[in-house]
Amino acid sequence: MNLKNLLREIEDFPEEGILFKDITPILKDEDGFNEVIERFLDEFAELEFDYIAAIEARGFLLGPVLSREFACGFIPIRKSGKLPADKVSVTYELEYGESELEMHTDSLEAGDKVLLIDDLLATGGTSLAAIELIEKLEAEVIAAGYLIELTDLPGRSNLQDYNIFSIMKE
């Protein structure tokens, strides 16, 4: 199945000059969504990890499904102000400002192995912030998986120290 045929592109969203990659048609299509999950399962079947962590918001569409399939726990990495208990946070740069990611401090323990999941790899900035959070709790990111990788941006090179997998390269 060619998943690219299901990917919807929207120009100038969320702001002018951005070509937004809308994955909702893939999620809507039963065969397409199953293909995505199967590709992740095939890629990471041989890895040993304790948890899947995913980045809010669209990573949450994939992470819990994969956690169920891999029979492991799910760790949400949230945007600032969304978590009620003690948390660890990281501020990172965006093209147009700063943002912050958070995790509960009891999400992981030292030595835990984590598979990081998100929908899109662009510059790698959000992923690097998520990895920094995980490492602050003395856990280890053993791989990162993405539905889409924008190959004209430096995400893969910025994450060169990590095992990176992407289903679609744009």
Catalytic sites, residue numbers: 58, 95
* Per CATH, domain 47-169 is 3.40.50.2020: yes
CA 32 to chain centre: 18
Q: Name the one residue in this structure whose structure tokens are 């945007």.
A: 79
Per-domain residue ranges of the chain = 47-169
DSSP classification of residue 56: T
Whether residue 62 is predicted with pLDDT greater than 90 in this model: the reply is yes
Whether pTM > 0.85 for this model: the answer is yes
**Type of residue found at 109:** E
Q: Name the one residue in this structure whose structure tokens are 């208990």.
A: 85
- Write the pLDDT tens digit of every residue in 65-101: 999 999 999 999 999 999 999 999 999 987 667 899 9
Tokens read off for 129: 């912030």
For residue 17, CA distances in Å to 14, 95, 152 come to: 9, 12, 15
Angle value at C-alpha 87, between 112 and 60, nearest 5 degrees: 70
- Write the pLDDT tens digit of every residue in 17-39: 889 999 999 999 999 999 999 99
**Type of residue found at 61:** L
Residue 80: what pLDDT?
Answer: 95
Model confidence at 14, pLDDT cuts 50, 70, 90, reads: confident
